[in-house]
Amino acid sequence: MYDIGEKPGVGRYCCTSCGWSVNLDDGSDRLPPCGSCGKGQQTKYKSC
């Protein structure tokens, strides 16, 4: 699992709380706050 702000690499990552997904298309991209849970949440991501 990955935290907001981590740089897990190119791929698709899903919020473990709500399933919202984000594509990172560059190895230097950081995981953003979840677009559904909001910025204040301690969201974790997993690859999906």
Binding residues for Zn ion, rule: CB under 5 A, are 15, 17-18, 20, 34, 36-37
CB closer to Zn ion out of 10 and 18:
18
Name the minimum Å distance from CB 22 to Zn ion: 10
Name the minimum Å distance from CB 16 to Zn ion: 8
> Please, what's the largest Cα pairwise distance for the chain?
25
Name the minimum Å distance from CB 3 to Zn ion: 13
As a whole number of Å, the end-to-end CA separation of the chain is 11
The contacts of residue 21 (CB under 8 Å, 6+ apart) are 12, 13, 14, 15, 48
